[in-house]
């Protein structure tokens, strides 16, 4: 009758707290290796299990910090001195080495013999198999993500011996190994999990929802849902260099202004994911440091739905692309923080780099000229739909667009749709005519982006774009190695189509910003955009 446990007022005891090993008064003053870092986030962590259906995005950080995977992305230092994951290099985490078979159809991993779970038991190939089987079997987002790396069936995962694990591939793909480094295929202590599994719950969903059974850099010392999560360092971690702090407290503070007051006063070490306005002002104010990292493989776009009658004419779409007030939107909605995605020199790309600026600029004369060559030269009416959950940047963008499109005779009204409803309308029903959207692919390859956003019927293709040539190019390049000379050619051809057909008009590449106190070092940016605290350290 766990529901009746009223006496567990703060809920800490019932929620997987290991023995509360710290003092009643935390030595927060202690810096150096025994310090405590405090991070605030605006959303809520609602599960410790990324495989659970309904797990919110902020909860993915638990999979990152408390669990390990076979491999991980290496780290690189960016121009501004900040750390970022390196998508081009994969390094060992639980696997000490791996070899691809001569025929390329399987990969054999050798596990680190000293890898231990947080309860002291050894990490074996059986644990890896159970965990990967779980990832491909639970359905929903985790299974879809595994599929992206051609990891689809439990039969592909083979236990060779206690420390050797083999994955049989369905096809050769450059995406398989990187897909093993994303948060989803984490390794669970299957012996511990199976103890809590039941017939109705063979994957131990109930247990892993509230408890960690992993080998990662941190244990969860305390989880008060809706309030805070406390990580405590696992001193037996073998996945990398030990974190430089003993404890990380992640506190949920819904109010943006409060988070800003906290970081500016220095009462917390980091405010994770702040909007452009705050980033600009905090940086100028000098009370805290700000790190902004462009989000790879992501663009904020204006979606133009091919099902809407006027948009079926390519000249109308191009007219719109010339009528977008790019710089104004960038300064107003993004506060000048991001990467400009317009002003490209020609309609044919010269490099296979994505994203890159689209060959359009703000040119109302050109826009009016193009529109006058169509059947809609007298203009038409169309709603601009925005996601209320992202109104902070989408609303100013929509307002500026409204003003500009009116100049070429297109009358618009702004339709605000609440978060969950927006996803369904835009991605599932694909019924929004003109909409503001954003998508970022986890695996940093252009073909991956096009797979999700440009292929017919695929989820993030909210514009009903249907081009068999593009579909073919994506299918051919998706699993091709980037070193293959054909790859660059195919990818650049895809860009050409994207720029000519314009189902998505690029506005700017967003930036992920964090504000942190001088003392906190070791922030590392990742494609998954959640907090990775494993390199944290506090300066003394």
Tokens at 176, concatenated? 């398989």
Q: Are the CB atoms for 40 and 227 separated by under 8 Å?
A: no
Residues composing the chain: 540
- CA atoms within a 13 Å half-sphere pointing along the CA-CB vector of 86: 10
Q: Among the candidate windows 235-243, 340-348, 416-424, 508-516, which touches other proteins by CB under 8 A?
A: 416-424
- The footprint of other proteins on residues 423-482 (CB under 8 A) is 423-424, 427-428, 459
Min CB(286)–other proteins separation in Å: 15
Contact between 171 and other proteins (CB under 8 A)? no
Among 10, 160, 375, 406, interactor with other proteins by CB under 8 A? 10
Among 242, 261, 414, 488, interactor with other proteins by CB under 8 A? 261
| Other C-beta atoms lying within 10 Å of the C-beta of residue 434 | 24
Q: Among the candidate windows 83-91, 221-229, 297-305, 371-379, which touches other proteins by CB under 8 A?
A: 221-229
Min CB(364)–other proteins separation in Å: 37
Q: Closest CB to other proteins among 47 and 156?
A: 47
- The footprint of other proteins on residues 123-162 (CB under 8 A) is 139-141, 144-145
Min CB(183)–other proteins separation in Å: 12
Q: In Å, how far are 1, 11, 218, 365 from 535, measured between CA atoms?
A: 40, 29, 11, 52
Listed in sequence order, the residues at least 6 apart from 139 whose beta carbon sits closer than 8 Å to its beta carbon are: 53
Min CB(127)–other proteins separation in Å: 24
The binding track of 268-287 with respect to other proteins, each residue x by CB under 8 A or -, is x-------------------
Min CB(168)–other proteins separation in Å: 25
Please give the size of the binding site for other proteins, defined by CB under 8 A.
63
Tokens at 341, concatenated? 């995605």
Q: Closest CB to other proteins among 94 and 193?
A: 193
The separation between the first and the last C-alpha atoms of the chain, rounded to the nearest angstrom, is: 47
Distance CA 433, CA 287 (A): 44
What interhelical angle do 468-478 and 446-453 show, nearest 10? 140
The binding track of 38-77 with respect to other proteins, each residue x by CB under 8 A or -, is x-x---x-xx----xxxxxx--------------------
Contact between 202 and other proteins (CB under 8 A)? no
Among 113, 285, 314, 418, interactor with other proteins by CB under 8 A? 418
Q: Are the CB atoms for 240 and 75 separated by under 8 Å?
A: no
Long-range CB pairs of 225-231 (<8 Å, 24+ gap) are 225/11, 225/15, 225/44, 225/45, 225/46, 226/44, 226/252, 227/251, 227/252, 228/252, 229/45, 229/62, 231/65, 231/66, 231/533
Contact between 252 and other proteins (CB under 8 A)? yes
Query: Contact positions toward other proteins, by CB under 8 A?
Result: 2-12, 14, 20, 24-26, 28, 36, 38, 40, 44, 46-47, 52-57, 139-141, 144-145, 209, 224-228, 249, 251-255, 257-258, 261-262, 264-265, 267-268, 418-421, 423-424, 427-428, 459
């Amino acid at each position: 009758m766990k529901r009746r446990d009223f006496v567990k007022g703060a809920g800490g005891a019932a929620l997987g707290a290991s023995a509360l090993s710290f003092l009643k008064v935390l030595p927060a003053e202690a810096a150096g290796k025994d310090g405590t870092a405090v991070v605030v986030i605006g959303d809520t962590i609602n599960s410790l299990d990324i495989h659970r259906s309904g797990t919110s995005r902020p909860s993915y950080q638990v999979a990152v910090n408390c669990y390990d995977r076979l491999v991980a992305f290496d780290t690189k230092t960016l121009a501004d001195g900040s750390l970022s994951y390196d998508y081009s290099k994969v390094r060992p985490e639980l696997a000490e080495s791996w070899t691809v078979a001569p025929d390329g159809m399987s990969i054999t991993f050798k596990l680190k013999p000293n890898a231990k779970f947080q309860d002291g038991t050894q990490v074996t190939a059986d644990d890896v198999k159970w965990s990967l089987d779980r990832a491909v079997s639970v359905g929903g987002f985790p299974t879809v993500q595994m599929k992206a790396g051609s990891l689809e069936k439990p039969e592909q995962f083979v236990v060779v011996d206690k420390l050797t694990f083999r994955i049989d591939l369905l096809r050769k793909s450059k995406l398989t190994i990187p897909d093993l480094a994303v948060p989803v295929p984490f390794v669970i202590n299957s012996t511990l999990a199976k103890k809590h599994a039941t017939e109705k719950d063979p994957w131990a969903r109930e247990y892993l929802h509230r408890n960690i059974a992993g080998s990662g850099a941190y244990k969860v010392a305390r989880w008060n849902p809706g309030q805070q999560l406390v990580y405590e360092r696992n001193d037996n971690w073998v996945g990398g260099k030990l974190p430089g702090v003993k404890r990380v407290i992640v506190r949920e503070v819904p109010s943006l202004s409060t988070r800003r007051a906290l970081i500016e006063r220095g009462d917390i070490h980091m405010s994770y994911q702040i909007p452009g306005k705050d980033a600009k002002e905090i940086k100028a104010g000098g009370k805290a440091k700000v790190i902004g990292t462009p989000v790879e493989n992501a663009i904020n776009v204006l979606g133009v739905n091919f099902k809407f009658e006027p948009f079926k004419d390519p000249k109308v779409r191009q007219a719109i692309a010339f009528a977008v007030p790019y710089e104004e939107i960038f300064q107003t909605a993004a506060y000048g923080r991001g990467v400009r995605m317009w002003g490209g020199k020609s309609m044919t790309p010269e490099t296979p780099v994505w994203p890159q600026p689209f060959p359009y600029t703000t040119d109302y004369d050109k826009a009016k000229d193009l529109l006058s060559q169509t059947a809609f030269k007298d203009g038409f009416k169309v709603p601009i739909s925005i996601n209320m959950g992202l109104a902070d940047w989408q609303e100013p963008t929509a307002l500026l667009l409204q003003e500009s499109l009116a100049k070429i005779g297109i009358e618009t009204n702004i339709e605000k749709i609440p978060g969950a409803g927006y996803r369904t309308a835009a991605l599932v029903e694909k019924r929004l005519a003109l909409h503001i959207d954003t998508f970022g692919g986890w695996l940093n390859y252009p073909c991956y982006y096009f797979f999700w956003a440009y292929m017919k019927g695929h989820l993030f293709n909210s514009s009903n774009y249907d081009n068999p040539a593009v579909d073919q190019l994506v299918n051919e390049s998706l699993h091709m190695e980037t070193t293959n000379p054909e790859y660059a050619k195919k990818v650049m051809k895809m860009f050409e189509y994207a720029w000519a057909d314009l189902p998505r008009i690029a506005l700017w590449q967003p930036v992920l910003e964090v504000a942190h106190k001088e003392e906190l070092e070791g922030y590392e940016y990742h494609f998954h955009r959640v907090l990775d605290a494993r390199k944290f350290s506090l300066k003394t």
